[in-house]
Amino acid sequence: MTSQRLNKLTPYMFMAPAAIIMAVALLYPLGYMIYGSFRDWNPSQTIGESEFVGFKNYITLFYDPAFRESLSVTLTFAFAVVTAELVIGVGLALLLDRNIRGMSVLRTLFILPMMIAPVVVGLMWRYMYHPTVGTFNRWLKSWGFEGVDWLGQHALLSVIIADIWQWTPFIFILSLAALQSLPRSALEAARIDGATAWQQIWYIKLPLMMPVLIVTALLRLIDAFKVLEVILVMTEGGPGLSTEIVALRISRTATEFRELGTAAAMSNYLLILLLVLTLAMFAITRLQEARAARLARQIQEEG
Amino acid sequence: MLKSLKRASVGAVSAIALTTAAVAGPYDEYEGQTLIVNFPAHPHFDAVMKILPEFTKQTGIEVEVDQLPYLKMRERQTLELAQDEGEYDLIAYVVFSKADYVYADQLENLAKYFMNPKLADPSYDADDLIDGYVYNIGFAGGNKGYLEGKTGSLFGIPYGSETSILGYRTDIFEKHGLEVPETYEEMLEIACKIPELEPGMGGLSSRAASGHHASHAFLLHLAPLGGRVFDDQWNPIVNNEAGVQAANALKTIVDCGPEGAASFGFGEALGSFLNGDTAMFLDTTVVAGQINDPSKSQVVGKVGWAMHPMGVRRGSQTGGFGIGIPANAENKEAAFLLMQWLTSKEGDKLVAMAGGNPSRFSTHADAEVNEKFPHMATFGEALQHADPDWRPIIPVWGKINADLGTTLSKVLTEDLDIQEALDGVAERTQAVMEEAGYYTWQ
């Protein structure tokens, strides 16, 4: 009996070290953040000395126009960059999915922007956008156009362009890997049936790549919600609050306003938002899979 | 006989002991100690690094410096000061940290050190320290809670402090026969005339980027134009006539400034003056070193200095750094000796000669210092009008400052109506102050 029970326990004991590490490394900080978000806590105090305020931080934030504005900036930014990066990245992958000489060199070149430290990317773009000495305005002026006030009048667009430049390669490289691992038989069958290149892309390649694309998009979306350094260096959130994404607001709330409790509550809002998005994405994938399975069954039954 | 001999020898021994004690220098007891200090990466503290070996030579006290970028420094200090035993014996702090540190009881009150005859140097001459700086950076607990006054006491000494000054291009002013502006009206008029006289050149470079930069530039004009952020009852009055005038001045300066001025931070504003893209510069005195450095500046020898122009009163900014002893420091007395030496007449002159910002009137008037840095006399004159209350130093200021700065940025870039913008700031500030308990007594 005892040995039987021990046998049953064995797998859990093997799992225990991993579970403990996970609890300490993941759940403890998370719990700390949630606990902190219910307190009026400034960085000169230990968390024990701070005062419990219930949901006050969450309620204040909910009605805070600045927080709402930065939430809407974040949503605009995240969806804009992910959509643009998906279109460009997948497009590039479709174009380059063939045997070109020197492909490995090209691939390395394409992913270079991803390897650059975000602070450097921010600085580089900030100088390229500079109103007088920046590359873009010098080009524009040498072609006889008016200079554009990139980081003033069009700050959000400028930040979006910089992010697309840096992160499109990520989507490109994953899409290319997905394309190259597609079953060749399906494509050959389509070709024999006389499908055009566009038809192959729309009806075969893209649907088969979909699971990879959804995960890729999700990863990028989560990342885009948390991007901080590039925007911090380029615009510091300005002008006004036009590029102040939530991650930047959290950092300012903690360091400039010295309100750790509010910053923690903001992080939790962001966490909840990301959780909802992730769950929604997975739900969509599940639904699609179920539909595909049903279709497959129907075809089999009819056949 | 024997008894008297014994008494005599005891007397002699104690006389010798007394003489030795009298001869022993104030630093002997601390010789060989190592102080750990936290300084920012900043031109003044780069100069301090050059004079620290002299302190060690004179006193035998070693100094180890942890030099950090100033925003990082504040984060690090916040963590260190909250410990039971801190790592730092002496810290340099930014003026707006004063409110936080003093409120959390993390800085030593300096009275007990200046009262201690073994520590306090009688020739220190505290009256020679620049009043505006001491009140702004050193004092807490007096008027309004953050200034000097009958209930106030000293928690730090200004070190690496700065005020605002007007820099102008002597060649451009001479070429067009322009007079150096004395008042705000004159300054704004010249600022907008320059782009007409010198196509492609901006009038005055100012910081204007969203947040701290825009707010700083606005407050720079608010004090001389007669405004304040709060009245004596802590009601926000930033939206009164003086406030609107100050915002108008900022807008005029940015509109007549170099291209892209609305997104300039301090670096870009200074950069455009150093590149010769603007004819005037109204900001901190700390830039003087860079303007005369040929590797950084294209306007060496073409810049003159004048006092911050006058509105309805004179009032230049006060800011920069002070030094204080953390309450959890290990070697407090030796740290005080270092602090006293650095800010003494001798230390202040040494640091000025090494390129730092002096904290004493006498150093600004010193012939040797003026020979090396001819602008020092004008700076000293400007300091007579340094206004310690040009911005409030209260714990909630960070939040109000950010709101003011982002709203003004909207005025500059999105043409938001000035009165409407400042009314909004005043309303939100009122709510922040209410929550922080400033209206408890009303």
The two most distant CA atoms of chain A are separated, in Å, by: 89
Q: Do B399 and A259 touch (CB under 8 A)?
A: yes
d(CA B127, CA B132): 12
**Arithmetic mean of pLDDT over chain A:** 89
| Residue numbers in B near A66 (CB within 8 A) | 403, 406
pLDDT band at B14 (very low <50, low <70, confident <90, very high): very low
**Distance between first and last Cα of chain A:** 54
How many of the other CB atoms lie within 10 Å of CB of A50? 17
d(CA B321, CA B97): 10
| Residue numbers in A near B413 (CB within 8 A) | 152-153, 239-240
Q: Establish if B27 touches chain A: CB-CB under 8 angstroms.
A: no
| Residue numbers in A near B432 (CB within 8 A) | none
| Residue numbers in B near A57 (CB within 8 A) | none
Contact B298, B277 (CB under 8 A): no
Q: How far is CA B294 from CA B42, B290, B318, in A?
A: 19, 8, 28
Determine the 3-state secondary structure of B223 from DSSP. coil
Give the DSSP letter of residue B41: S
Distance in Å, alpha carbon of B208 to nearest chain A alpha carbon:
9
Determine the 3-state secondary structure of B439 from DSSP. coil
With 0-12 CB in 10 A as exposed, 13-18 as middle and 19+ as buried, what is B362? middle
Q: Establish if A45 touches chain B: CB-CB under 8 angstroms.
A: yes
Determine which helix (DSSP H) or strand (DSSP E) holds B279, and give its type and residue range: strand B278-284
The per-residue pLDDT for A1 is 55
Q: Establish if B210 touches chain A: CB-CB under 8 angstroms.
A: yes
Q: Establish if A239 touches chain B: CB-CB under 8 angstroms.
A: yes
Q: Do B402 and A46 touch (CB under 8 A)?
A: no
d(CA B306, CA B385): 13
Determine the 3-state secondary structure of A183 from DSSP. coil
Q: Do A42 and B413 touch (CB under 8 A)?
A: no
| Residue numbers in B near A256 (CB within 8 A) | 212, 398-399, 401-402
Q: Where are the domains of chain B?
A: 30-162+319-383, 174-317+394-434
Which of A19-23, A43-47, B367-371 is predicted least confidently?
Answer: A43-47
Determine which helix (DSSP H) or strand (DSSP E) holds B434, and give its type and residue range: helix B418-435
Q: Establish if A155 touches chain B: CB-CB under 8 angstroms.
A: yes
Q: How far is CA A33 from CA A28, A185, B72, in A?
A: 9, 51, 22
d(CA B349, CA B370): 11
214-253 in chain B: CB under 8 A from chain A: 214
Q: What are phi and psi of A81, to 5 degrees?
A: -70, -40
The per-residue pLDDT for B10 is 46
Class of domain A66-302 (CATH, top level): mainly alpha
Q: Establish if B70 touches chain A: CB-CB under 8 angstroms.
A: no
Q: Is the model's pLDDT at A145 over the cut of 90?
A: no
Contact A224, A78 (CB under 8 A): yes
* Fold match between domain B30-162+319-383 and domain B174-317+394-434: yes
Q: For A190-214, what is the mean pLDDT?
A: 88
Q: Establish if A238 touches chain B: CB-CB under 8 angstroms.
A: yes
One DSSP character per residue, B288-303 reads HHHHT-TTT-S-TT-E
Q: Do B81 and A45 touch (CB under 8 A)?
A: no
| Residue numbers in A near B101 (CB within 8 A) | 44
Contact B223, B298 (CB under 8 A): no
Contact B95, B40 (CB under 8 A): no
| Residue numbers in B near A236 (CB within 8 A) | 209-211, 265
Closest C-alpha to A222, from A283, A288, A262, A167: A167
| Residue numbers in A near B78 (CB within 8 A) | 43-44
Q: Which two tokens stand for residue A176?
A: 């290319």
Q: For B142-190, how does the pLDDT look when each residue is reduced to its tens digit (9 = 90+)?
A: 999 999 999 999 999 999 888 999 999 999 999 999 999 999 999 999 9
| Residue numbers in A near B396 (CB within 8 A) | 257
Query: Angle at the Cα of B349 (from B346 to B353), degrees rounded to 5?
Result: 140
Q: Which two tokens stand for residue A146?
A: 């008016």
The per-residue pLDDT for B19 is 44
Query: Angle at the Cα of B38 (from B351 to B333), degrees rounded to 5?
Result: 85
Q: How far is CA B277 from CA A100, A130, A137, B189, B213, in A?
A: 49, 14, 16, 18, 20
Predicted-complex ipTM score: 0.74
Closest C-alpha to A94, from A212, A3, A175: A175
Q: Is the model's pLDDT at B13 over the cut of 50?
A: no
Q: Which two tokens stand for residue B94?
A: 């930014």
d(CA A104, CA A87): 22
Burial B237-257 (b: 16+ CB within 10 A, else e): bbbeebbbbbbebbbbbbebb
Task: Give the chain B residue nearest A45 (alpha carbons).
Answer: B82
Q: Where are the domains of chain A?
A: 1-26, 66-302
The per-residue pLDDT for A264 is 95
Q: Do A240 and B277 touch (CB under 8 A)?
A: no
Dihedral sign, Cα of residue B296, residue B302, residue B307, residue B312:
negative
Q: Do A240 and B263 touch (CB under 8 A)?
A: no
The per-residue pLDDT for B5 is 47
B174-317+394-434: CATH, from 3.50.50.60, 3.40.190.10, 3.90.1580.10, 3.40.50.2000: 3.40.190.10
Q: How far is CA B43 from CA B70, B162, B306, B324, B355, in A?
A: 12, 12, 22, 19, 8
Q: Which of A45, A131, A236 sits opposite B260 (nearest CB)?
A: A131
Task: Give the chain A residue nearest B81 (alpha carbons).
Answer: A44
Q: Do B263 and A46 touch (CB under 8 A)?
A: no
**To probe the interface with A, which of B210, B251, B417 has the most A CB atoms within 10 Å?**
B210
Q: How far is CA B241 from CA B227, B237, B245, B247, in A?
A: 8, 9, 6, 10
| Separation of CA A108 from chain center | 22
Within 13 Å of residue B5, how many CA atoms lie on the same side as its CB? Answer: 2
d(CA B274, CA B279): 10
Q: Which of A44, A236, A258 sits opposite B211 (nearest CB)?
A: A236
Task: Give the chain B residue nearest A153 (alpha carbons).
Answer: B413
Distance in Å, alpha carbon of A110 to nearest chain B alpha carbon:
32
More confident residue, B175 or A237: B175
Q: Do A240 and B413 touch (CB under 8 A)?
A: yes
Q: Which two tokens stand for residue B414?
A: 């999105």
**H-helix segments, A27-132:** 28-36, 56-63, 65-96, 103-110, 112-115, 118-128
d(CA B133, CA B377): 17
Task: Give the chain A residue nearest B202 (alpha carbons).
Answer: A132
Q: Do B82 and A131 touch (CB under 8 A)?
A: no
Q: Establish if B264 touches chain A: CB-CB under 8 angstroms.
A: no
Residue B393 φ/ψ region, left for φ over 0, alpha for ψ in the -120 to 50 degree band, beta for the rest: beta
| B30-162+319-383 belongs to CATH 2.40.10.10 | no
Q: For B375-429, how does the pLDDT look when each residue is reduced to its tens digit (9 = 90+)?
A: 898 888 888 899 999 999 998 998 999 999 999 999 998 889 999 999 999 999 9
Which span out of A126-130, A212-216, B94-98, B174-178 was modeled with the highest average pLDDT?
B174-178
The per-residue pLDDT for B167 is 95
Contact B347, B185 (CB under 8 A): no
The per-residue pLDDT for B289 is 79
Q: For A239-270, how does the pLDDT look when each residue is reduced to its tens digit (9 = 90+)?
A: 888 899 999 999 989 888 888 999 999 999 99
Q: For A169-197, what is the mean pLDDT?
A: 89
pLDDT band at B22 (very low <50, low <70, confident <90, very high): very low
Q: Do B262 and A155 touch (CB under 8 A)?
A: no
d(CA B28, CA A214): 72
Contact B121, B26 (CB under 8 A): yes
pLDDT band at A43 (very low <50, low <70, confident <90, very high): confident
Q: Do B260 and A149 touch (CB under 8 A)?
A: yes
Q: Is the model's pLDDT at A97 over the cut of 80?
A: yes
Burial B278-291 (b: 16+ CB within 10 A, else e): bbbbbbbbbbbbeb
The per-residue pLDDT for B15 is 45
| Residue numbers in B near A240 (CB within 8 A) | 210, 406-407, 409-410, 413-414
Contact B299, B291 (CB under 8 A): yes
**To probe the interface with B, which of A138, A141, A236 has the most B CB atoms within 10 Å?**
A236
The per-residue pLDDT for B23 is 52
Q: How many residues does chain B have?
A: 442
Beta strands B202-205 and B278-284 are parallel
